[in-house]
Chains A and B, each alone.
Chain A
Amino acid sequence: MSAQRRAQVLLAILAVALIVLPFVSGSYVLSVATLILFFAFTGQAWNVMMGFAGQLSLGHSLYVGLGAYAAAGLFFHYGIGPWAGVWLAIALCVVAGAVIGFLAFRFGISGVYFALLTIAFAEFTRIGFDHITWLGGAAGLFIKVEQRDTWDLLNLRGTPKMFYFVMLALAAGAFAFCTWLLRSRAGYYWQAIREDEDAAQALGINTFRWKMLAVVISAAMTGVAGVFYAFYYNNLFPEQTYHISRSIEIILGPIIGGLGTLFGPILGAAVLTILADSITEIMAAAGIEVPGVKQVFYGLCLLVVIMFLPNGIWPAIARRLGLKDK
């Protein structure tokens, strides 16, 4: 069997498993699975910027938050459903990403300084949103929880199973989209920029334009995740939504799974979420309560992966399975 064939078979098995899962699992497993898919999606989005184009963002919570607040605000005040709100979310994230990208790339801010800029934007948005009373301010914005036993896809109100399938569709869509992106001309240019930006520029690649495209696509995708976040959790606090720890959570999956790979963000999200949740469960069962244990655990995971699998888990597994993932 060729590598491509094997990859297709494995993907098909995974797809079937993910579709069957909610019918055989309990509500706890379903919630963990939904969370995994959420991080698989955001990881995929972040990976477009960092993994493909080599631009480190440590402020992706900004786009989650903007997307979440945009859709939730429209729904809360005007009863406009998320399928309309998602377009506002995308538009806001595109504008925010374009502003950050323009400031950075136009004035030659790169590397660590670029990362700092992304943090700064997320941070002052967090503080700013504390004072926007129209969106609940620091006290939070709450969407009414209702109709938990039926599916209202139009308004994204329904059972956990519905949310699971929505998130599954989003994650699958992101995977397909990123596969296509990586093989497109843009994907080609991004890899050149990631590997050696000076050389890319010397070859006549308009690095400014392609870096901007990466940021804007990544921001828009993350904004979509934000819309889901708002309607899944039904409450938004600037302190949580925009917090830097949320940005870190987003980037851990793709780093541990494999930067720049297509399957790495998915695998990384699964490994991290499952392990972190088990640890929390075990600790709870043992009656030990230590705040921040999840963060310590994330740190340990990162350490282990950096030491033993500096390219992430997925490339190592892919090699074992005789697969290619570019």
Chain B
Amino acid sequence: MSAVNGSPILEVRELDLYYGDAQALDGVTLAASEGEIVAIVGSNGAGKSSLIRTIAGIETQRRGMVRFRGQDIGGLPSHRVCELGIGQVPEGRQVFPSLTVRENLEMGAMLRRARARLAQTLEEIFELFPRLKERERQPAGTLSGGEQQMLAIGRCLMGQPELVMFDEPSLGLAPTIVQEVFHTIRRLHERGLTIILVEQNVAVSLKLAQSAYVLENGRIAMNGTGAELLADDRVRQAYLGL
């Protein structure tokens, strides 16, 4: 599908993941081309987070393949995957509450690929999120939910990823902040980042995405361009309540 735009930067094929006997992913196949936003939508427990965690190397699949820039990364430990340029903004923000904003950001740049340019990247992040600059010396736990999400995004960017996976970035945020988060994602897309966006906010993420997948019970139930899925009756009924 997305392979029409050239060879994919990320390729997932026939991925099976189990937690003990429970199957979380069942033959998941997807691809992301360089510079595109790929949305993965689905209800709670459909396997969205499992998919991200498997690509990130935190879970290990039982079958199937994950390829990044042609290299097989399935089974690599997470720190090696990060080192290749796959970043992750985990669900629920997960900043380090008692470390300062600056320390949080620096923690994101501990990868070998990013360490040397730390100071420069930090400046770029502060430009992108001026509010983080204002709160530089504050413990991250004292930030508002929206600010923490910005910090989590900034921290991920500190590692200079080429592909960023967002896990439910709008979860638990006020509507205006949600808009801001999606606006940020669009800006990162404009800068050329490849983005995988896992969201329950189906309408917005499908509008944003070039290609999209619907995950149901660990299986890809549908895929297409964002616009196609947005127009699909089944998607409209099941996820948009129309």
- Name A residues whose Cβ lies closer than 8 Å to a Cβ of B: 185, 188-189, 191-192, 195-196, 198-206, 208
Nearest-neighbor residue (CB-CB) of B56 within chain A: A202
User: What does the 1/0 interface line of B81-125 toward A look like (CB < 8 Å)?
Assistant: 111000011100011111100010011101100000000000000
- Chain A residues closer than 8 Å to B56, beta-carbon distance: 202
Contact call A203/B110, Cβ cutoff below 8 A: yes
Contact call A204/B90, Cβ cutoff below 8 A: no
B55 to chain A, nearest CB (A): 12
Nearest-neighbor residue (CB-CB) of A195 within chain B: B96
- Complex partner residue of A195 from B58, B99, B156, CB under 8 angstroms: B99
In the bound complex, what is the Cα–Cα distance between A202 and B82 (angstroms)? 8
- Complex partner residue of A191 from B90, B96, B152, B159, CB under 8 angstroms: B96
- Complex partner residue of B94 from A185, A189, A199, A208, CB under 8 angstroms: A199
- Chain A residues closer than 8 Å to B69, beta-carbon distance: none
Contact call B77/A206, Cβ cutoff below 8 A: yes
In the bound complex, what is the Cα–Cα distance between A208 and B82 (angstroms)? 15
- Chain A residues closer than 8 Å to B95, beta-carbon distance: 196, 199
Contact call A196/B78, Cβ cutoff below 8 A: no
Contact call A204/B96, Cβ cutoff below 8 A: no
Q: Tell whether A199 pairs with B96 under 8 Å between CB atoms, given A204-B110, A204-B111, A205-B110.
A: yes
- Chain A residues closer than 8 Å to B79, beta-carbon distance: 201, 204-206
User: What does the 1/0 interface line of B66-83 toward A look like (CB < 8 Å)?
Assistant: 000000000001110111
In the bound complex, what is the Cα–Cα distance between A205 and B109 (angstroms)? 10
A2 to chain B, nearest CB (A): 16
Contact call A204/B99, Cβ cutoff below 8 A: no
Contact call A202/B58, Cβ cutoff below 8 A: yes
- Chain A residues closer than 8 Å to B96, beta-carbon distance: 191-192, 195-196, 199
Nearest-neighbor residue (CB-CB) of A193 within chain B: B96
Report the number of A-B residue pairs with Cβ-Cβ less than 8 Å: 64
**CB of B219 closer than 8 Å to a CB of A:** no
**CB of B48 closer than 8 Å to a CB of A:** no
- Complex partner residue of A202 from B77, B94, B103, B110, CB under 8 angstroms: B94
In the bound complex, what is the Cα–Cα distance between A196 and B95 (angstroms)? 8
Nearest-neighbor residue (CB-CB) of B96 within chain A: A195
Nearest-neighbor residue (CB-CB) of B114 within chain A: A204
Q: Tell whether A203 pairs with B58 under 8 Å between CB atoms, given A195-B97, A195-B98.
A: no
The CB with the most chain B CB atoms within 10 A, among A198, A199, A206, A208, is that of A199
- Chain B residues closer than 8 Å to A206, beta-carbon distance: 77, 79
Contact call B99/A202, Cβ cutoff below 8 A: no
B137 to chain A, nearest CB (A): 12
In the bound complex, what is the Cα–Cα distance between A204 and B108 (angstroms)? 8
In the bound complex, what is the Cα–Cα distance between A191 and B110 (angstroms)? 13
- 5 closest cross-chain pairs (CB), A and B: A204-B82, A199-B94, A195-B96, A206-B79, A202-B88
Q: Tell whether A204 pairs with B94 under 8 Å between CB atoms, given A188-B110, A189-B110, A195-B99.
A: no
Contact call A204/B83, Cβ cutoff below 8 A: yes
- Complex partner residue of B78 from A192, A195, A204, CB under 8 angstroms: A204
In the bound complex, what is the Cα–Cα distance between A205 and B83 (angstroms)? 10
Contact call A202/B78, Cβ cutoff below 8 A: yes
Nearest-neighbor residue (CB-CB) of A260 within chain B: B98
Nearest-neighbor residue (CB-CB) of A201 within chain B: B78
The CB with the most chain A CB atoms within 10 A, among B56, B103, B110, is that of B110
Question: What are 10 A-B contacts with C-beta separation under 8 Å?
Answer: A191-B99, A195-B98, A198-B58, A198-B90, A198-B94, A199-B152, A202-B82, A202-B90, A203-B110, A205-B110
In the bound complex, what is the Cα–Cα distance between A189 and B82 (angstroms)? 15
In the bound complex, what is the Cα–Cα distance between A206 and B152 (angstroms)? 19
Contact call A196/B94, Cβ cutoff below 8 A: yes
In the bound complex, what is the Cα–Cα distance between A205 and B95 (angstroms)? 14
In the bound complex, what is the Cα–Cα distance between A200 and B103 (angstroms)? 13
Contact call B107/A203, Cβ cutoff below 8 A: yes
B17 to chain A, nearest CB (A): 16
Nearest-neighbor residue (CB-CB) of B108 within chain A: A203
